[in-house]
Amino acid sequence: MAALVRLQNVTKQYRTPNGTVTAVDAVDLDVEQGEILGVIGYSGAGKSTLVRLINALEKPTDGTVHVGNDELTALPERRVRAVRREIGMIFQQFNLFNSRTVAGNVAYPLKLAGVGQPERDQRVARLLDFVGLLEKAHSFPDQLSGGQKQRVGIARALATDPKLLLADEATSALDPETTADVLALLKRVNRELGITIVVITHEMDVIRTIADRVAVMDNGRIVELGSVYDVFSAPSTPTVARFVATVLHDRPSPETLSRLRAAHPGRLVTVKVLDQKGFTGLLSRVFAEHHVENQIVYGGISELQERSIGALTYELTGPQASVDGALAALTAQGIDYAEERVEDNA
């Protein structure tokens, strides 16, 4: 796959009265043509700055940003505006004109681009139909729900046929159900219209629902980049592990473990779920062969990119040697587990 956006060694610093802030720090990143790339990080990690570097609202202090074949810092302002027209943006607060109708909002970028009335009307109708809001064409933003406003935002962002859509916390102001609808729409934008999307978020659930790949930002740097499944299943930094724990079952927290410990006298072992058929059946057989009683006391299995992922905490009861034998058998089968001891976690 070819890269649509390429950041090479990009640094962005701001001078403030309190000194220099490095918002983006030596970032290398390719956004591949046709993908949905999620960028996740805590507040202040540098995500919004990254977006503003991609759409040339900011110039890097160091490094280069390519969109297609164009290197943004080398282009005259007139050409930068042309590149910007190929990039759609949607925002957390929707940024609609309240004085214009829904149709008027979607038509606005077409007007700016000099598209004449009959074609404009046709395109607006087609876009509103795509986002499911044709019957609201003559309503005003105030008369719409948050989810509907974001649909208008999406229709407007698509008006000039962009190659790339940047979504900056686009669902952060929406409730979970509406978030799911908007994310489903963004997925259609990607799959049906072939538009590359960069989704900026602080919510792992958004990444899990929509992204093909994820970049994790921390302190201006990209600390992890890979397929959503790979990053979720084997987080290699504490920041990533904390994000993953918000949406997937992982080892029990110290508080949960204390509660489990109080209720379950047997040995507590958390097994990492592998994406293979009959995985839990395999575990049951291993335990049975070693005459170890087992029950799941915590955890769960989720689906991610059509593969299983998660963790199951078992209470194992039986003679020490039998439990040790069963655990050795798990290791021999390549199954990853961790024994939960309250003192480990304290």
Ligand X SMILES: Nc1ncnc2c1ncn2[C@@H]1O[C@H](COP(=O)(O)OP(=O)(O)OP(=O)(O)O)[C@@H](O)[C@H]1O
Min separation Cβ 87 and ligand X, Å:
17
Min separation Cβ 179 and ligand X, Å:
17
Nearest to 63 by CA among 25, 11, 21: 11
- CA 170 remoteness from chain centre: 11
* Residue 245: both structure tokens together: 């724990």
Nearer to ligand X, 105 or 239 (CB): 239
Q: What is the CA radius of gyration of the chain?
A: 25
> Which residues bind to ligand X, rule: CB under 6 A?
14, 16, 21, 23, 41, 43-49
Min separation Cβ 215 and ligand X, Å:
12
- 266 by DSSP, 3-state: which? coil
E strand segments, the chain: 3-16, 19-32, 36-40, 62-67, 70-71, 87-91, 164-168, 196-201, 213-218, 221-227, 267-272, 293-304, 307-317, 337-340
Nearer to ligand X, 144 or 206 (CB): 206
Nearer to ligand X, 165 or 200 (CB): 200
Nearer to ligand X, 47 or 267 (CB): 47
Nearer to ligand X, 43 or 320 (CB): 43
Q: What angle do CA 99, 100, 103 make, to 5 degrees?
A: 165
Give bridge partners of residue 310 from the DSSP assignment.
301
Min separation Cβ 45 and ligand X, Å:
4
Min separation Cβ 12 and ligand X, Å:
8
What single-letter amino acid sits at 281? G
